[in-house]
Amino acid sequence: DIVMTQSPESLAVSLGERATINCKSSRSVLYRSNNKNYVAWYQQKPGQPPKLLIYWASTRESGVPDRFSGSGSGTDFTLTISSLQAEDAAVYYCHQYYNNSPHTFGRGTKLEIK
């Protein structure tokens, strides 16, 4: 199984500041034939299902604000929120879909407003 190691477990960031969440896969999730990284990021607020933010490591889902961005390749990936808004307080998860048996998630990062 591909293990997704997410860090930090939690962080507190002031409004308007940058938030950075990291995810490291136990082996490469870059598929050479199409040069795509099979990583997605999700946001989950209390009492709600997860919401897709980023796929292919850096493609923003339609409707997601452009302050959210994804980067990285191979085994190391980052979700960045460039200017934190109050509504961004949530838990964020990374997900690898390179190996679909099983799909695996990071353990989540709880983002709070300082």
Partner 1 sequence: QVQLVESGGGVVRPGGSLRLSCAASGFNFSTYGMHWVRQAPGKGLEWVAEIWYDGSNENYLDSVKGRFSISRDNTQTTLYLQMNSLRDEDTATYYCVKDGRAEAVTDYFASWGQGTLVIVSS
- Residue ranges that bind partner 1, judged by CB under 8 A: 38, 40, 42, 44, 49-52, 55-56, 61, 93, 95, 97-108
What's the min distance (Å) between Cβ of 110 and partner 1? 11
Min separation Cβ 15 and partner 1, Å: 26
7 versus 83: smaller Cβ distance to partner 1: 7
**Taking the complex as a whole, how short is the minimal distance between the CB of residue 49 and partner 1, in angstroms?**
4
CB-count burial class (<10 Å; 0-12, 13-18, 19+) for 22: middle
Q: Are strands 109-113 and 10-13 parallel, antiparallel or unpaired?
A: parallel
Read off the DSSP letter of residue 86.
G
Phi-psi region of 29 (alpha: psi -120 to 50; beta: other; left: phi over 0): alpha
For partner 1, which is the closer residue by CB, 18 or 45?
A: 45
Tokens standing for residue 20: 């950075």
Closer residue to partner 1 (CB): 67 or 103: 103
Tokens standing for residue 94: 């990374």
Nearer Cβ to partner 1, position 16 or 33? 33
Minimum CB–partner distance for residue 47 and partner 1 (Å): 9
Structure tokens at 110: 């709880």
